[in-house]
Structure 1
Amino acid sequence: MKITGYRSLTAFHDWRRPVGDVNGIVESGITEVPVLLVETDGGLTGIGLGAHREIDRIFPAVDGADPRAVSTLYDSMLSHVFKSGHAGATYGTIAAIDMALWDLKAKMADEPLWRTLGAGDGFVPGYASGLCYGLEDEAFAEHYTEWAERGFTAAKIKGGRDLDRDIARLETVRGILSRNTTRPALMLDVNEAWNTKQAIRHLAEIEKHIDLTWIEEPVRRWDAPGHAQISRAARTAVATGENLTGLEQYAPLFDAGAVDIVQTGSVWGITHFLRVAMAAHARGLPVSPVAYNANPVAHAAAAVPNMIGIEVQDFAFPTGFAVDQQIADGGIVLGDRPGLGIEIDEAAVARSAAATGWGERGGPHRRPAGAGLRLVPETRRASE
């Protein structure tokens, strides 16, 4: 079987609530989901999820190849672009192709990808998330109550600007998840909003109230000395890595002892996750992938020995997606449908509404001008 071509779709995910982090909120709760369909001469189609704007440039590296040679083709794509670098949109495109190739490889074997990758079963432990920064207090509590009802014992909230609010919300989630465990795992993600000394001061205050499991991206993603200093000063673990593309970008963090929980972005693909997981495993570190629509990297997470938990952000899937998995028992239960377990109704995707807010100015990918520069945390007025 040979790779013969590709098609692109844009699906949409209705979260049914505002989503975002300290950098910005999508009030509509509707976000776009780019879909890459890799076609073969054998009638099978591989599905890759994530932005792939560089597809025309990178596809020649895999065109006409046997899709089962996933690892070789991954390195072929990296070699194809080595002169111009592989970060950003280029790496995202490589990831989408890589995901589609793994989907094809498992479909050709007529088995779910988690089995192709050597996992013993399809259960992946997870932690509740939800891009919850924009939720008001009542909606915030209702949201995490839904996670508790599905058996979750761990949760991560979004914060980073209002220290009192962050502490209060961590306490709220602790109370909600206590129905499932006496000691819930509680994480705080500030999305690079602090500088090193702010992080140390804020964590000292938080740790007076909360047994924090980890602090995520406390400072800029490339700041190995800063992460190392924070890790030494705080009791909590430091988690980072979701925005890094390629093993070489992790090397400074590893060398500095700057990361305790090694993360990968699901949008960077399955081979990326597997390689980072093994690099972390060699150093005695756990790995945790962040979430993405339909949780495709969960298949790989089920197969590595040092997986501490996958982020799970929603109970539903994009319009037109039929995904063979359940969110239950405190994690993801992957099914037995071949490949990634994703089927797409292209007609339904075509009818779905357009997204609003994700790419707009001030959206959740735009770093505020004051990030890392606030002398004191923002606080709510007493009248609020």
Structure 2
Amino acid sequence: MSARIRSVEAMQVAWAPGDAPGRRSAFVRIETEDGIVGWGEASPMQGGLHSLGIVERDLAPALVGRDAFEEAVLHDELLHRNIKLGPEGALTGALAAVDIALWDIKGKALGLPVHRLLGGAWRTELPFYASIGGHAARTLDETVRVVEARWRQETPAAIKIRWDGDRTRQDADIPGDIAKARAVRQLVGEGYPLAFDANNGYSVGGAIRVGRALEELGYVWFEEPVQHYDVRGMGEVAQRLDITVSAAEQTYTTQALVDIIRAGVRMVQPDIVKMGGITGLMRCAAICHAHGVELVPHQTQPTIAHVANLHVLATLMHLTKPAEYADPSGRMDAAFPDLPKPENGRFRVPDGPGLGLAVDESVLRAHR
């Protein structure tokens, strides 16, 4: 058996004519000399073109001929060889796509699912929370209507309402935001787990005001209340509120993760397609375990990244929150015929070799 890499292909996929870049997917296909194909995914920010460009120009030439089983060596070698491109953002997104594909190859070559390669699964099914975005632009009634539709259709274990507002403005409508949070609480009842994602929309003072209201309403966590780069401010909000404050969706290195933990954040949410893939996220898990911090990965991509994330979550001993399931549309299902489907608020972790995900390449290439 040869695990030598023969080819690396980066592709952007548009699922419908006229798709805006943010609605496209950024995939990487790696094939070994024995014909084993692994699939990975990068963050789709701006269509993923920055990460895909790095894969094509800077990573692929260095990967051809290398051993696909040496994912950790390749991860760190390529990170440091291209360190001046980042290391945050596009580079770690590119490394994530490559890393996920290499784990997929290793599992297929050995006939084992990724979660077994990572040390074994504590669970074969995972509860999920419905991550529902776009509420900054909605009225109160529209917010309730959209949340209710997802709640009743999917029966998730929890719900997170996301604002997705204008990041150049702070504290734009605090009374309106609190009113929407209160209306969603009234919709689902007192005991149902709710979370609030501010998408970096508040000043420190504004975040504390909103956080106090969320505490009274019984929300479980308050996500990214201030700008992600204001690590000290994020830590101040976390330390002054009783509600759990989460952050690190936009954290790209393990060193930056440690910085935000030291600032006082006790629930972190690195993303598998931004934080160096499976290898990167497993390193985050070790850091969180050592610091006694909750790891609840951010994850919004419904296909390759979603499945890779499920494999990692299955291996975590202390999994304190459900997995994220964001704004599904079904547009991508034709390319992934056996994609795990939500059922009774849970996802089953695939048990086939590698990621355990079939890929219809003809569909991908038709939408490339």
After TM superposition, the score normalised by the length of structure 2 is 0.83
Of residues 293, 296, 300 in structure 1, which corresponds to 2:302? Answer: 293
After superposition, residues 1-384 of structure 1 pair within 5 angstroms as: 1-13=3-15, 31-50=23-42, 51=48, 52-55=52-55, 56-117=57-118, 118-133=120-135, 134=137, 137-138=141-142, 140-159=144-163, 161-178=172-189, 183-208=191-216, 210-257=217-264, 259-268=265-274, 269-291=277-299, 292-294=301-303, 295=306, 296-307=308-319, 308-315=321-328, 316=330, 318=332, 319-352=334-367
**Matching residue of 2:45:** none
8 Å Cα contact 1:127-1:311 kept in structure 2: yes
Farther off after superposition, 199-208 or 185-194: 199-208
| 1:344 counterpart SS class | coil
- Deviation sequence 1:147-204 (CA, Å, 0-9, x none): 34433231111136433443343344434544xxx61221111111111111112222
8 Å Cα contact 2:5-2:30 kept in structure 1: yes
- Output the amino acid matched with 2:218: D
1:288 Cα deviation from its structure 2 partner: 0.8
Farther off after superposition, 75-84 or 230-239: 75-84
Alpha-carbon distance in structure 2 between the residues aligned to 1:290 and 1:331: 17
After TM superposition, the score normalised by the length of structure 1 is 0.79
Alignment RMSD (CA, Å): 2.6
* Structure 1 runs not aligned, ≥5 long: 15-25, 355-384
Percent of aligned pairs with the same amino acid: 28
* Structure 2 runs not aligned, ≥5 long: 43-47, 166-171
Higher strand fraction (1 or 2):
1
CA 1:341–1:12 in 2, change beyond 3 Å: closer, same or farther? farther
- Output the amino acid matched with 1:53: G
Alpha-carbon distance in structure 1 between the residues aligned to 2:19 and 2:266: 33
| 1:199 counterpart SS class | helix
Q: Which has the higher contact order (CA 8 A, sep 6+)?
A: 1
| 1:156 counterpart SS class | strand
**Matching residue of 2:168:** none
1:71 Cα deviation from its structure 2 partner: 1.7
Higher helix fraction (1 or 2):
2
| 1:203 counterpart SS class | helix
